[in-house]
């Protein structure tokens, strides 16, 4: 039936994530497929056209992108650009009457995130954030354990997510404040923010933060090298979090009245492992991005809100900005 047709996705920005995760995932999706591309690099347009059999009429650049409004093959625009460009391309996609999936973090300011939501509302399109872990069985189990109080009330959370950026990364947008909006907090720490919120099933009431020491000033001229922060929830539950571009850490822990759980590796694409006070978690490692896009396409097709809506992206940008504000002056902030 026409209801069940696969939705066409156009990826915007053919960098590492589009190339190595999203395009391969779109070869396995059931509710959507790779219909088009938007790129500023003509050589990539040629290579992707050949590799994925993309017709010329479905290939755009950043200048002619708005003509996508006339393209019936494209139902969803997936914004996979540096963080500060998410707002512009989400708003242009909404004006072109396309549903939008936007990568994390949704935006680099609260105002931008609000403008994105408003543009999607006005143009009656849906907006979902690329929060792939909501589709992962290990993280779904953590949501269940925390939100449904399987081991009683949650008492504390710890979440660390860090990677060691190579010395040759000084040209990366990730260390450029203008394009990234911030450092590891925006890129990796957002997973800890998310995890604390979905363990509790709610947003924090306050945050405090401190920046770490800069030991590699050649890389971290504009954005933080590392950051420690705490998220305080109702009833005094604290999530202790850390993110860095100069360390290797990847875990999520929760402690409740009658038990505990731990994922580690927790946040990467592959090789997740988990255990609880009752034993090892046995879940398959799935192709998260395929499940994510299938889930999002299904919600768009049925006109149902996504489980990772733009409103959640805005909530998280508010938390990120409160964490930065606290790190700058040491004061407690209400997101």
- Cα(151)–Cα(22) distance, integer angstroms: 36
Is the CB of 8 or the CB of 13 nearer to ligand NDP? 13
State yes or no: is 230 an active-site residue. Answer: no
CA distances from 280 to 144, 160, 274, 292 (A): 16, 21, 6, 25
Burial 62-81 (b: 16+ CB within 10 A, else e): beebeebeebebbbbbbbbb
Query: Which pair of structure tokens corresponds to residue 7?
Result: 């939705």
Taking the complex as a whole, the smallest distance from the CB of residue 307 to ligand NDP amounts, in Å, to 15
Is the CB of 259 or the CB of 265 nearer to ligand NDP? 265
Is the CB of 154 or the CB of 319 nearer to ligand NDP? 319
Taking the complex as a whole, the smallest distance from the CB of residue 206 to ligand NDP amounts, in Å, to 26
Select which of 104, 198, 272, 324 is catalytic: 104
Taking the complex as a whole, the smallest distance from the CB of residue 136 to ligand NDP amounts, in Å, to 11
Residue closest to ligand NDP (Cβ): 15
Long-range contacts at 118-122 (CB < 8 A, ≥ 24 apart): 119/90, 119/91, 119/94, 119/95, 120/90, 120/94, 120/310, 122/94
Is the CB of 105 or the CB of 151 nearer to ligand NDP? 105
Is the CB of 225 or the CB of 276 nearer to ligand NDP? 225
- Cα(126)–Cα(185) distance, integer angstroms: 26
- Cα(134)–Cα(293) distance, integer angstroms: 11
Taking the complex as a whole, the smallest distance from the CB of residue 292 to ligand NDP amounts, in Å, to 8
Residues in the chain: 335
- Is the link from the previous residue into 265 a cis peptide, with omega within 30 of 0? yes
Is the CB of 173 or the CB of 283 nearer to ligand NDP? 173
Taking the complex as a whole, the smallest distance from the CB of residue 59 to ligand NDP amounts, in Å, to 11
- Starting at the earlier edge strand, list the strands of the sheet with 7-12: 59-60, 32-38, 7-12, 76-79, 99-102, 127-129
Q: Are 160 and 241 in contact (CB under 8 A)?
A: yes
Select which of 135, 191, 198, 324 is catalytic: 191
Is the CB of 16 or the CB of 271 nearer to ligand NDP? 16
Backbone angles phi, psi at 249, to 5 degrees: -150, 145
Residue 200 carries which DSSP code? Answer: H
State yes or no: is 104 an active-site residue. Answer: yes
**DSSP labels for 58-91?**
GEE-TTTGGGGGG-TT--EEEE-S-GGGHHHHHH
Enumerate binding residues for ligand NDP (CB under 6 A). Answer: 13-18, 39-41, 44, 80-83, 103-104, 130, 132, 173, 179, 187
- Cα(333)–Cα(325) distance, integer angstroms: 7
- Cα(21)–Cα(290) distance, integer angstroms: 9
Taking the complex as a whole, the smallest distance from the CB of residue 239 to ligand NDP amounts, in Å, to 20
Taking the complex as a whole, the smallest distance from the CB of residue 121 to ligand NDP amounts, in Å, to 22
Report the catalytic residues.
104, 191
């Amino acid at each position: 039936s026409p209801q069940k047709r696969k939705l066409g996705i156009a990826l915007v920005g053919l960098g590492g994530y589009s190339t190595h995760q999203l395009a391969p995932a779109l070869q396995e999706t059931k509710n959507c497929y790779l219909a088009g591309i938007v790129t500023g690099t003509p050589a990539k347009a040629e290579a992707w056209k050949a590799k994925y059999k993309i017709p010329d009429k479905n290939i755009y650049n950043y200048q002619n992108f708005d003509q996508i409004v006339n393209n019936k093959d494209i139902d969803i625009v997936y914004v996979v650009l540096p963080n500060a460009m998410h707002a512009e391309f989400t708003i242009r996609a909404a004006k072109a009457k396309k549903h939008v999936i936007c990568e994390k973090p949704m935006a680099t300011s609260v105002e931008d995130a609000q403008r994105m939501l408003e543009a999607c509302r006005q143009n009656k399109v849906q907006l979902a954030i690329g929060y792939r872990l909501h589709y992962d069985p290990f993280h779904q189990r953590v949501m269940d354990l925390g939100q449904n109080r399987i081991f009683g009330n949650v008492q504390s959370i710890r979440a660390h997510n860090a990677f060691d950026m190579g010395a040759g990364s000084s040209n990366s947008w990730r260390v450029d404040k203008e394009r990234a909006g911030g450092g590891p907090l925006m890129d990796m720490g957002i997973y800890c923010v998310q995890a604390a919120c979905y363990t509790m099933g709610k947003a924090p009431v306050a945050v405090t933060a401190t920046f770490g020491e800069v030991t590699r000033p050649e890389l971290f001229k504009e954005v933080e090298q590392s950051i420690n922060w705490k998220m305080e929830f109702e009833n005094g539950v604290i999530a202790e979090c850390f993110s860095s571009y100069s360390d290797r850490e990847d875990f999520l822990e929760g402690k409740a009245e009658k038990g505990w759980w731990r994922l580690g590796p927790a946040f990467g694409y592959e090789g997740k492992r988990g255990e609880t006070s009752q034993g090892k978690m046995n879940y398959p490692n799935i192709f998260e991005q395929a499940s994510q896009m299938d889930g999002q396409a299904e919600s768009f097709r049925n006109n149902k809100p996504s489980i990772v809506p733009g409103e959640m992206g805005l909530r998280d940008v508010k938390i990120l900005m409160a964490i930065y504000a606290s790190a700058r002056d040491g004061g407690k902030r209400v997101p």
